Chain A
Amino acid sequence: MTAAAAATGAAVSIEHLRVVRGGVLVLPDLSAEIAPARVTGLLGPSGSGKSTLMRAVVGVQRIAAGSVRVLGEEAGSPALRRRVGYRPQAPSLYGDLTVTENLRYFARILGAGADDLARTVSTVGLEARAGQVVDRLSGGERARVSLAAVLLGKPEVLVLDEPTVGLDPVLRRDLWNTFHELADAGATLLVSSHVMDEAERCDALVLLREGRIVATGAPAELMGRTQGRDLNEAFLRLIEAAER
């Protein structure tokens, strides 16, 4: 564990991360810490580097410089593969298999049992679709299967890339409640979104724009700091202040 991470007890500690993708400098020099047992929202417009940052935290992104440490280990190290769950932006499922068959495969790799599988299916509310082939599900249902897959084996750190896109409001609320239940039970969640009303549901926020962090802090703190009426306005003021 780095000195900084040890001092703050951060679950994820990112120092001077630099990522170049396809000749484009996506993250020039990013440092941040993600608090344990909290839901941290990664907010920013499309193309701001959210997915790249998440990929770096999971350890699937080739990085040019800097370090990313998760639970005291280097991101992507073998010891972390059981402790960190990643839900990529694309559903990343076997379209020709049923919901249960997909989840059973991932569960067997993780050594998770049938009860764990049933639990995750019910968490995402897909009991009625369990026997359906994934290709025949709606986009929102596929997103939920993908989320269920990452809940298998109860990982300590969950990295969820836009997990609630295209979902109905009731289900979205339920899932955010689930995220907080997981955090209350000790899990660290990093959730990306480009929807501002989801920002209010986070314990902490990281606002990303053009590969740089514009602001970090709890939603109420950011509102107070900027005197904005809502988070959207707070973010606008933060961006304007950063550019000045």
Chain B
Amino acid sequence: MSVRTASATAARVLTQLRRDPRTVALLLAVPVALVTLLKYVFAGEPVVFQRIGGPLLGLFPFISMFVVTSITMLRERSSGTLERLLTLPLAKLDVLVGYGAAFALVAAAQAALVSAVAFGALDLHTGGSTWTVAALAIANAELGMALGLLVSAFARTEFQAVQFMPALVLPQMLLCGLLVSRDRMTRALQIASDALPLTYSYDALARVTTGLPLGPRFALDVSVTVGATLLALALGAATLRRRTP
């Protein structure tokens, strides 16, 4: 792997994003608007806002980066740029690390803005450190990116790629414990929940924001999130073929 090539890739991805100011505006504004909406929807039940508001801050980057990466990688595949890149002296890891670095930066900006608004203006409280929330938000962005990269190999069109969002992301949101506590789910759903990476990402965020002691379960949460990211990246890298039929 080469730092020069990976940083060139990150710079290229960020320049592409900069060319698309509307996407950048949406990436930054939509989470803020949603958290604000959530605050007023639960105006009568502020406890609910306090319970799910914090974890949601860390989950937005997961959703955004999943969609952005799956579309961007699909374009790389269909426009022929990926094939051109793979004929050049670069390692697949350079491309992946480049994407990862670029989207981590975007996720950091996204998490910083939505956290500033939620903690500063919407009266959301966190029991733990806001820095830990931000770090988890970036980890989730990387998980979203890795999964987006992987599914881009299974989508032929941008329509298909977009449909993978409700197909793969929404079930994880439903099962992770955000809406209904996991111990109130049936055994079958608990098992499904156990098998999904977002469950662990959510648990980590919930622990930090409620100010529970972090302990070994938090360590497990973080390990699973990072491990799932690495696994998805490895599988995604395997779909970047230099030789194609």
Contacts and interface: CB of A to CB of B under 8 A. Distances in A.
Given A105-B9, A109-B8, 15 more contacts: A22-B245, A59-B242, A60-B242, A76-B242, A76-B243, A81-B90, A92-B83, A93-B81, A105-B8, A106-B84, A108-B8, A109-B88, A109-B90, A110-B89, A149-B84
A163 B79 CA distance: 17
Nearest to B8: A108
Given A62-B243, A97-B15, A92 B79 contact: yes
Interface in B1-31: 4-5, 8-9, 11-12, 15-16, 19-20
B87 A84 contact: yes
A62 B83 CA distance: 13
Interface string A83-107: 0101010111111110001000110
B86 interface: yes
B85 interface: yes
Given A21-B245, A59-B242, A105-B8, A92 B89 contact: no
B48 to A, nearest CB: 41
Nearest to A88: B80
Contacts of A96: 16, 19-20
Contact of B87 (A22, A58, A90, A91): A58
Nearest to B12: A105
B80 A60 contact: no
B5 A109 contact: yes
Interface string A45-88: 00000000000001111100000000000001010011010101
Contacts of B87: 58-60, 81, 84, 86
B242 to A, nearest CB: 6
Interface of B: 4-5, 8-9, 11-12, 15-16, 19-20, 79-81, 83-90, 242-245
A169 B192 CA distance: 64
B80 A81 contact: no
Nearest to A92: B80
A90 B84 CA distance: 10
Contact of A60 (B4, B89, B243): B243
B80 A91 contact: yes
A94 B16 contact: yes
Contacts of B12: 94, 97, 101, 105
Nearest to A89: B80
B39 to A, nearest CB: 36
| Interface SS of chain B | helix
Contact of A78 (B5, B11, B15, B89): B89
B79 A93 contact: yes
A166 interface: no
B52 to A, nearest CB: 36
A86 B89 contact: no
Contact of B84 (A21, A86, A101): A86
Contact of B244 (A60, A90, A93, A111): A60
A167 interface: no
B89 A97 contact: no
| Most chain B CB inside 10 Å of its own CB: which residue of A82, A84, A90 | A90
Contacts of B80: 88, 90-92
Contacts of A22: 245
25 contacts: A58-B87, A59-B87, A59-B243, A60-B83, A60-B243, A60-B244, A62-B245, A81-B87, A86-B84, A88-B83, A88-B84, A90-B80, A92-B81, A94-B12, A94-B79, A96-B20, A97-B15, A97-B16, A101-B12, A105-B8, A105-B9, A106-B84, A106-B88, A108-B5, A109-B89
5 residue pairs, one from A and one from B, having the closest CB atoms = A92-B80, A108-B8, A81-B89, A92-B84, A90-B80
A78 B20 CA distance: 35
| Most chain A CB inside 10 Å of its own CB: which residue of B84, B89, B243 | B84
B126 to A, nearest CB: 38
Interface in A107-137: 108-111, 133
Nearest to B11: A105
B244 A61 contact: yes
Nearest to B16: A96
Nearest to A75: B243
Contacts of A94: 12, 16, 79, 81
Contacts of A76: 242-243
